Amino acid sequence: MSAEAREATRGRILPFTVPWESVPWWAIILAIVGIFVGWSVLTSEAYLDALAFIIDGVSLTLQVTIISYLIALVAGLIFGLMRVSDNPIFYAASTLYVEVMRGVPLLVVILYMGFVVTPRVREATGGQIDLQGVPAAIMGIALSYGAYMAEVYRGGIESIEHGQMEAARSLGMNYMQAMRYVILPQAVRRILPPLGNNLISMLKDSSLISVIALNDLLQTGRLYVSRTYRAFEGYNTVALLYLTMTLILSFAVRIVERKAAIE
Amino acid sequence: MNRDPIITIENVYKSFGHVEAVVDVSLDVYPGEVVVIIGPSGGGKSTLLRCINKLETVDAGRIVVDGHSITETKNINRVRAEIGMVFQLFNLFPHLTALENITLAQKVVRKRGEKQAKEIAHEQLVKVGIGDKWDAYPSQLSGGQQQRVAIARALAMEPKIMLFDEPTSALDPEMIKGVLDVMLDLAQEGMTMVVVSHEMGFVRAAADRVALLDHGSLVEVTTPEDLFENPEEERTKEFLSQILH
Amino acid sequence: MRKRTRLLTAAIVLAMFAALGAGCGAPATEAPAEAPTEAPTEVSEEEPTEAPTEEPTEPAAEDEGEAEGLGQVVIGTNAEYPPFEYVDEEGVITGFDVDLMEAIAQEAGFEYEFVNTRWDGIFVALASGEFDAVISAATITEEREEMVDFSDPYFNAGQRIVVQAEETEIEGPEDLAGKRVGVQLGTTGDIWLTDETEAEVVRYDENTLAFQALANGDVDAAVADGPTAVDILQANPEMELEVLPGSYTDEQYGIAVHPDRQDLLQAINQGLAAVEESGQYNEIYDQYFGVE
């Protein structure tokens, strides 16, 4: 045994070290659980039955989540900029939006969109604009999350030192040019983690749209349970499907963060 | 001087809350002149400088640059393009390379094409002595190199006036000379410069006039020779005795 | 995180998943073992009002000597289904089922308490022991009987179709084909619509939401138990809805009881019989369903 090895194993019962640190424990545990669950599912008729029925709900969940997220990203940027603006009207309007949307639970927002806004808008436009169903759900989620995103953007923008804006302005750029070419590129890189986390939160919160009778993953699961009374298999399947989606998204987010950091 | 001043500062006042930073300052700067503003810390030098390109807004008084009234103009951006500024902390854009730092404003403000902007940028980088660092990011450059990129960035806009706000105060001693040499060259080429600095060597070598600012007011404005040999005011003598050791 | 903490956390997480997975292979819906039908105990033999009591309690109230075997009966209900069970303005659980249960408990002589819970999964909760009984306008169905036992039927309700007052196209189940029809998720109305019609079934958490959706025009019709439908309409004339004549599915409501509680089941059936005989049932019925 080399001198270093002897030093490293001093005091131990067994004469070797195991590199605890470099082993990705969480991945191993997840893999073990995944294999265990996978085997249980594939050998259990009840689970296959549940999976076959419930997996139909995944597509609506993904659709609503992705579209709402894209809208919220844009809405967040716009309201975030308004929140840092000197213009009193922009500031007041955006602060009102942020306070209201952050102050009302998402479930209430969705119910409100579905049962108050949708019929009023339908009436007001003589049936031309019908938000019933998916559009109402997307609007609810996007508006609510947009408020949180606005504050994230604002935090990112404010974290950039004033000297950057001063340098840009002193070169003759106007406010919007300075934002676009100097401030925002730096700010966005800093806020990628919270933006990514919001995507994952949104996926889980999308389960709330079941309350306006949309056939998302949760609703489909509940329907299965109400028909077969197999709550255990039913809800286990629902949970596993949500978990699978969020894990995949987590990976994707981490890859994006890593790419941005390298630059 | 028989030409009109290119910068007119007239009875300017500026306070931050209760603190009076600039008190009734009047100063003219002529084309091609190098004016260095010296004085004790907190004396209002930086504030006065930043009023010139409206990074600070004056409370009272008038500032006119190249015929445009800074205090009244509706299009400050256009005027700012004619005034180059170099900051104590460089303020380079960290997400862009040295070259990109210099081409950005050229393209966006002066509306130059990519090719032309790059050519000019390369020229300026060579001029300040770091032509080979064009594709380095600010984080990969030393303080002195960063400041030189900052100077090149300002010069690429072909301004009429250059303002320097303590350009060497944040640099390690061995890098100061490099930057001062660039500034000296610039002065010799006839650029109108207003410099806030403590570097007396630069004052002696390049300044046409020196202005002493203490507690917001202009104490004395003379030539470098007169300043060092025959300072008139008490405060001037005091200040000099403190810094010349 | 330090090495040891990491290891401990890993062990705990692994244990949790193992426990979770332990149930994975076992089917969840085995028919519960039949409880042997015992000879009725003193509980049901004696006449409630005449039994000698040891405690100085009022004869008409809960008689401890009688209800010895039963203890405090926990009754689950989904108090969002007027007029059978709902929460009134003062926050009190009220309704036809509530009044009926009170009468039954009095006749049978046991103490009870109501627990307000979600409809979704209420039978699963009953089967898992969270309650001793459930009274919640629950239709007696074969599938439910696999998990729980039902008392004798105490109400006959059929599903009815509700439409907007100005509706002209929809007159019966055949007309629902291709139309959006709202219903409460998991109810017999839901099942009837799914299996017996060609409607596009839109499932809401509660009947009230389904009816609101109908009033708003989000769905073309709504389906609910007759009495519920009538009750909602009576309470909300401004919705401008109407209940179509015709009742679909023959539905008997029953009180669900945990299969291991045959004693409770007996008590309830006897209490129910007594309530019907004495005319109390009709009183309560008239109170809620008046002139219909």
Q: Is A169 on the interface with B (CB under 8 A)?
A: yes
Give a yes or no: residue A27 inside a domain.
no
Q: Compute φ and ψ for A79, nearest 5 degrees.
A: -70, -30
Q: Do chains B and A touch (3 or more CB pairs under 8 A)?
A: yes
- Among A153-157, A224-228, B148-152, C245-249, which is the least confidently predicted range? C245-249
Residues of A in contact with B91 (CB under 8 A): 163-164, 166-167
Say how many Å lie between the first and final Cα of chain C, rounded. 70
Distance from CA of C24 to the nearest CA of A (A): 6
B60-65 β-sheet, strand order? B19-29, B7-16, B60-65, B68-69
| Cis peptide, bond prior to residue C237, ω within 30 of zero | no
Could you give the CA distance from residue B190 to residue B185 in angstroms, rounded to a whole number? 9
Per the structure, the count of domains in chain A is 1
Per the CB < 8 Å rule, is B55 touching A177?
no
Are B65 and B12 spatial neighbours (Cβ–Cβ below 8 Å)? Answer: no
Per the CB < 8 Å rule, is A172 touching B77?
yes
Q: Is C185 on the interface with A (CB under 8 A)?
A: yes
Q: Is C74 on the interface with A (CB under 8 A)?
A: no
pLDDT by position in tens, chain A (length 263): 667 666 666 776 766 666 665 667 877 888 888 888 778 777 788 888 888 899 999 999 999 999 999 999 999 999 999 999 999 999 999 999 999 999 999 999 999 999 999 999 988 988 888 888 899 999 999 999 999 999 999 999 999 999 999 999 999 999 999 999 999 999 999 999 999 999 999 999 999 999 999 999 999 999 999 888 888 889 989 998 999 999 999 989 988 888 877 65
What is the number of helices (H) and of strands (E) in chain A? Answer: 14, 0
pLDDT tens string C182-226: 999 988 899 999 999 999 999 999 999 999 999 998 999 999 988
Nearest residue to C160 (alpha-carbon basis) of C231, C217, C100:
C231
The domain C157-251 having CATH identifier 3.40.190.10: the answer here is yes
pLDDT tens string B99-121: 999 999 999 999 999 999 999 99
B49, B74, B77, B146: which to substitute to probe chain A, counting the most A Cβ within 10 Å?
B77
Report the residue from C10, C203, C213 with minimal CB separation from A29: C10
How many contacts, defined by CB atoms under 8 Å, are there between A and C? Answer: 96
Query: Confidence class of residue C34 from pLDDT cuts 50, 70 and 90?
Result: very low
Residues 152-211 of B with CB under 8 A from A: 153-154, 157
Per the CB < 8 Å rule, is C124 touching A225?
yes
pLDDT tens string A79-106: 999 999 999 999 999 999 999 999 999 9
CATH of domain C71-154+254-289: 3.40.190.10
Residue of B nearest to A189 (CA): B95
Residues of A in contact with C209 (CB under 8 A): 115, 211-213
Distance from CA of A233 to the nearest CA of C (A): 8
Could you give the CA distance from residue C175 to residue B115 in angstroms, rounded to a whole number? 71
* Complex ipTM: 0.91
Domain that holds residue A109: 56-262
CATH number of the domain where residue A156 is located: 1.10.3720.10
Residue of C nearest to A123 (CA): C216
Give a yes or no: residue A195 inside a domain.
yes
Report the residue from A133, A226, A230 with minimal CB separation from C120: A226
Domain boundaries along the sequence of chain C: 71-154+254-289, 157-251
Residues of C in contact with A20 (CB under 8 A): 3, 6-7
Quick one: pLDDT at residue C63? Answer: 43
The H or E element that residue B162 is part of is strand B161-165
Distance from CA of B117 to the nearest CA of A (A): 14
Could you give the CA distance from residue B49 to residue B51 in angstroms, rounded to a whole number? 5
Per the CB < 8 Å rule, is A44 touching C17?
no
Tell me if the pTM is above 0.80: no
Are C107 and C59 spatial neighbours (Cβ–Cβ below 8 Å)? Answer: no
Q: Is A116 on the interface with C (CB under 8 A)?
A: no
Are B39 and B240 spatial neighbours (Cβ–Cβ below 8 Å)? Answer: no
Could you give the CA distance from residue B190 to residue C191 in angstroms, rounded to a whole number? 91
Quick one: pLDDT at residue C69? Answer: 64
Quick one: pLDDT at residue C15? Answer: 67
pLDDT tens string C74-97: 999 999 887 889 998 998 999 999
Q: Is A232 on the interface with C (CB under 8 A)?
A: yes
